[in-house]
Structure 1
Amino acid sequence: MNIWDDILNYPILDTRSFGVSDSTLNVINSNPELSETFVQSHKGFILAPINFVLFLVIFLIGKLCIKYLKRYFKILQLEGKQFKIEGREIALWKLIKQVIYFLVIYSCFQSLNINNSNIDFGNVLAFEFFRVKSFYVAVYHIFLVILVVFIAKLLVNFLKLYFHKNISKRVQLDKGTEFVVIQLAKYVIYTIAIIILLRSFGLSIDLLLTGSAALLVGVGLGMQDIFKDFLSGLLLLFEGSNKVGDIIEIHNYNGEDNFIAQIKEINLRTSKVETRDSKTLIIPNSILTHQSVNNWSFSTSVIRFQIPITIHYGTDVELAKQLLTECAQSHPRVKNTQPVFVRLRNFGNNGLELDVVFWAEQNFYIDIYKSEIRFAIEKAFRENGIGFPYSQTDIHIKKDL
């Protein structure tokens, strides 16, 4: 039995002896009275195998509690149950699971009392894993990182809720501007959180800024595109020329002459856009600031569109004009507030080049409406004997040659 006691209580880590020489420890260990006085006067803690066994047992008990509670929640159909705090829905099961994990951590700390009668939990939290000059990592850093990240996320969520409920309705901001303000506030909060954590680790912010400036100069040439995207992201967020929800048209991008998409999210380096095929693409921010971008959301709600048509030479042009006008006017998306008309654009190589001009609302799916008008034109021309020319070449051979 004494052997097991010796094994379980063997000090794997004894922080009380930190800073004490080996010769002094030998003298203390050989004298029980000195040993007891040393334990009382030197604040620290011992980690022995029995502590790790208790940690494991407590952790397993916590996992078993979660397992059986989850089964109980499923029986009572409470797993998806949610309640609201300040208008935000919180999953009941998620909250209970976090409470159990907190109790597990607290119980692990309390279990240190089994072989540390005069333990000071402040010393446990202040225990340093390692130190390099002023930089060090201690036990309390683990909890500090969790706490700072939790508070930062809580502030961001509270800001979103407050902004949506109070400011955006009172000032009547659009969805894109609201997103920009929240994104900027989120970056500020996370930056402050990172600075707090770096200071807690003993890092000098001045030294860090000086080192990062030198690093930026060295790496800048090799990462020009990335830095360009970051600066473009800041311009988009501050300037607001292209906002979330805007429909944009980029010339000669992604293999298309006119690439049309809706902005879903703007981040520091990239933006997410959704195409008319419901595909989500991630594009560099520099595309939105350095290329020619037509923002449909900045235009007036009703703009002019054209559909080019080529007909044979000798066709009744007046009849063709009448049919083109009727096909455009009959479409429900074409506005009657502006006249529909047909233009003779050119005497082409294969026929008369016309286009029908109409007014409609700028719409994400305008190409579908134009396609429906083309189908109507094809049907009307076919019923009236009007054909469409195709490219052809006539070769004349002179027999004398």
Structure 2
Amino acid sequence: MDFNLFEITPSKYLNGLLIFIFFLIIAKIVDIFVTKTIKDAVSRTSWKFDDRIVEIIHYPLFFTILIAGILETTYYISPPMNISFYVSGVFKSLGVIIWTIALYRLTSVFMEALPAKISFFADAEKELAPLFENLTKVVIIGAAIMALLSVWNKNITPIVASAGIAGFAVAFAAKDTIANFFGGISVFMDKPYRIGDYVILDSGERGAVVAIGLRSTKMLTRDEVLISIPNSIMASSKIINQSAPKPRFRVRVPIGVAYGSDVDKVEEILIDIARGNEYVTKKPIPRVRFRSFGGYSLEFELLAWVIEPKYMGRVVHIINKEIYARFAEEGIEIPYPKMDIYMKK
């Protein structure tokens, strides 16, 4: 900075005071601009978080300019080396602390705002967003500590090296936990399933996803048994999601009728039963397929879409009861395997 502009008086201390006053005026102008112009502008927007962002960076900007003025004044006055070192160190440290607090608060605001803008964070809000927030805050605090050590001319190389060795040791000891953590990240990003979806695992278990954590996914079976599966397994296994891409699920109800039955009547009754079920969707409509000529019956199959996979068992139960009642009422025989034995005398 060119100090000749401030050499108005013969006293360098008075000139130093003028330098500080100059920076104080600049700081006040910026402060007024932020509080009046920018704050008024963001208050008229629909996004509620910009007001909080301006409020957070308001004071750090003011004090940063003020600290710059103190440092420039100190440099101009040129006090003894030890005094200059400590004055510079104290005010630089103060600036680091002020901005660390501001960034710490901004992190919370951004992590609160991101779910409304980015669907990934909206899905991950309960588990993953707090983790990102905490990791970001740890990085901010770590960077602040490094900056403070650098301000006071402390050698940070041994600290960084020690941290690297410690991190490698921790990573090796907790490799399973880390594998589950990255498996959880993969699940959140790839979204093979969501909370509430009905899934079938490679091992055959079927149930609703009730929680997706960073270490494991929890699934509740129809027998009210809670299964916890590590995310490293979920990320590397084949998973059948019965609720995706749409929540409806198709059920198949096989039925055999005796030879000689009216096939058109059978089809009509089956479709009528499916349409009358409250859990069966209107679209796609139920269908009946005549599959084959069996050994002792005509093989039909009723295909109907259920509104949600969890109603599959209930729908099959209700439809089977109604088929039995309607066929008995209409005189349609449901055959069963039988053998005629003739005895010769």
Q: TM-score, normalised by structure 2?
A: 0.52
Q: Indicate how the Cα distance of structure 1 residues 214 and 175 shifts in structure 2: closer, same or farther if over 3 A, else same.
A: closer
For residues 273 and 287 of structure 2, the distance between their equivalents in structure 1, rounded to whole angstroms, comes to 11
Q: Does 1:176 align with 2:123?
A: yes
2:330 pairs with one of 384, 394, 399: 384
Aligned-partner residue type, residue 206 of structure 1: A
Q: CA RMSD in A?
A: 4.4
Q: Indicate how the Cα distance of structure 1 residues 175 and 216 shifts in structure 2: closer, same or farther if over 3 A, else same.
A: closer
For residues 260 and 158 of structure 1, the distance between their equivalents in structure 2, rounded to whole angstroms, comes to 35
Q: Which residue of 1 aligns with 2:284?
A: 338
**Contact 1:236–1:243, Cα closer than 8 Å, also in 2:** no
Aligned-partner residue type, residue 244 of structure 1: I
Q: Which residue of 2 aligns with 1:354?
A: 300
Q: Indicate how the Cα distance of structure 1 residues 299 and 313 shifts in structure 2: closer, same or farther if over 3 A, else same.
A: same
Q: Indicate how the Cα distance of structure 1 residues 365 and 279 shifts in structure 2: closer, same or farther if over 3 A, else same.
A: farther
Percent identical pairs in the alignment equals 24
Q: Does 1:295 align with 2:241?
A: yes
1:275 pairs with one of 221, 241, 252: 221
Q: Shift in Å at residue 175 of structure 1?
A: 5.6
**Contact 2:243–2:309, Cα closer than 8 Å, also in 1:** no
Secondary structure in 2 matching 1:253: coil
Q: Shift in Å at residue 182 of structure 1?
A: 1.7
Alignment map for 1:1-400 (pairs within 5 Å): 163=112, 166-169=113-116, 176-179=123-126, 181-185=128-132, 188=135, 204=159, 206-207=161-162, 209-210=164-165, 213=168, 228-250=179-201, 252-254=203-205, 259-261=206-208, 263-302=209-248, 304-391=250-337
1:54-86 CA distances to partner (integer Å, 9 max, x unpaired)? xxxxxxxxxxxxxxxxxxxxxxxxxxxxxxxxx
Q: Shift in Å at residue 265 of structure 1?
A: 2.0
Give unmatched runs, 5+ long, in structure 2. 1-100, 147-157
Q: Shift in Å at residue 273 of structure 1?
A: 2.0
For residues 299 and 240 of structure 1, the distance between their equivalents in structure 2, rounded to whole angstroms, comes to 11
Aligned-partner residue type, residue 319 of structure 1: K
Q: Shift in Å at residue 172 of structure 1?
A: 6.8
Secondary structure in 2 matching 1:282: strand
Secondary structure in 1 matching 2:284: coil
Q: Indicate how the Cα distance of structure 1 residues 244 and 336 shifts in structure 2: closer, same or farther if over 3 A, else same.
A: closer
The more displaced of 282-291 and 183-192 is: 183-192
For residues 341 and 232 of structure 2, the distance between their equivalents in structure 1, rounded to whole angstroms, comes to 51
**Contact 1:184–1:237, Cα closer than 8 Å, also in 2:** no
Q: Shift in Å at residue 159 of structure 1?
A: 6.4
For residues 325 and 184 of structure 2, the distance between their equivalents in structure 1, rounded to whole angstroms, comes to 48
Secondary structure in 1 matching 2:310: coil
Aligned-partner residue type, residue 240 of structure 1: K
Q: Shift in Å at residue 326 of structure 1?
A: 0.9
**Contact 1:311–1:389, Cα closer than 8 Å, also in 2:** yes
1:361-387 CA distances to partner (integer Å, 9 max, x unpaired)? 334333323322222212112222334
For residues 286 and 219 of structure 1, the distance between their equivalents in structure 2, rounded to whole angstroms, comes to 13
1:78-133 CA distances to partner (integer Å, 9 max, x unpaired)? xxxxxxxxxxxxxxxxxxxxxxxxxxxxxxxxxxxxxxxxxxxxxxxxxxxxxxxx
1:156-175 CA distances to partner (integer Å, 9 max, x unpaired)? x9669x72xx5444667796
Q: Indicate how the Cα distance of structure 1 residues 288 and 353 shifts in structure 2: closer, same or farther if over 3 A, else same.
A: farther
**Contact 2:121–2:129, Cα closer than 8 Å, also in 1:** no
Secondary structure in 2 matching 1:321: helix
Say which structure is richer in strand: 1
For residues 159 and 280 of structure 1, the distance between their equivalents in structure 2, rounded to whole angstroms, comes to 35
Q: Shift in Å at residue 272 of structure 1?
A: 1.5
**Contact 1:175–1:245, Cα closer than 8 Å, also in 2:** no
Q: Indicate how the Cα distance of structure 1 residues 209 and 375 shifts in structure 2: closer, same or farther if over 3 A, else same.
A: farther
RCO comparison, higher one (Cα < 8 Å, 6+): 2
**Contact 2:197–2:243, Cα closer than 8 Å, also in 1:** yes
Give unmatched runs, 5+ long, in structure 1. 1-150
**Contact 1:313–1:352, Cα closer than 8 Å, also in 2:** yes
For residues 294 and 386 of structure 1, the distance between their equivalents in structure 2, rounded to whole angstroms, comes to 38
1:297-350 CA distances to partner (integer Å, 9 max, x unpaired)? 431355543222223334332222121111001112323333322102233345
**Contact 1:311–1:388, Cα closer than 8 Å, also in 2:** yes
**Contact 2:114–2:122, Cα closer than 8 Å, also in 1:** no
Q: Shift in Å at residue 270 of structure 1?
A: 1.3
Secondary structure in 2 matching 1:268: coil
Aligned-partner residue type, residue 341 of structure 1: R
Aligned length: 232
Q: Which residue of 2 aligns with 1:138?
A: none
For residues 201 and 342 of structure 2, the distance between their equivalents in structure 1, rounded to whole angstroms, comes to 45
